[in-house]
Structure 1
């Protein structure tokens, strides 16, 4: 960064320029090393398996309303579950609503992580709430748990 006529610069400014030059060279060296570093191949995404999981979730009684709206459209033939999970149906307002809800939950989960909660605690906190008289039968009568004895 020095020029032929830089006698006006203070020692502190020259030291700062030297630090900038050194950091810039380090950044260039790192960029060159990264260019030469082969990246592992990205595994293919199994959209069919993901679509099957989403479809099963949409069939649950306590599925979110956004997912139920998508199920109605899939059932009507507007698009498939694979279209939803692969992004082909991303312009659909109901797909966007579901994505917004998912982003909201991810933000909440991130906040909970920052507050020190564990993954299990976060999952429990985001699980749909049941009323005080609900023994679970209303949401899933096929599951037999100890609290139903």
Structure 2
């Protein structure tokens, strides 16, 4: 649907789009852990948090970029994740990478995550912890350890 909104409806492309969507769905079901269940209310709360936060952060980044003297204090933050190693932690990092202003750049086996941040004056660790908690709430099977 998103592709059709961007490119417009073209019936000639519909079979390829359906095949790509079916292949993506099939691949994701093979990769998804068998004991996982998605919490629909948790997913809704996650999206309600994630989407506006992404827009606000994007506007903030644009504002900083277009000011004559950007007020950035970049640096690195180390965060200790409570997610188990593997797909859950990797997926959470992928989602967090979509938020402007902080980017996961490395993970370690013990749960240590390294983030590059545009402004260290902001409560980055608290934001990451809140993002991780919202992500965990969306998935029933993700059990935080630690």
Fold match (TM-score > 0.5): no
Determine which structure has greater relative contact order: mean sequence separation of CA pairs < 8 Å that are 6+ residues apart, divided by chain length.
2
Calculate the TM-score normalised by the size of structure 2: 0.30
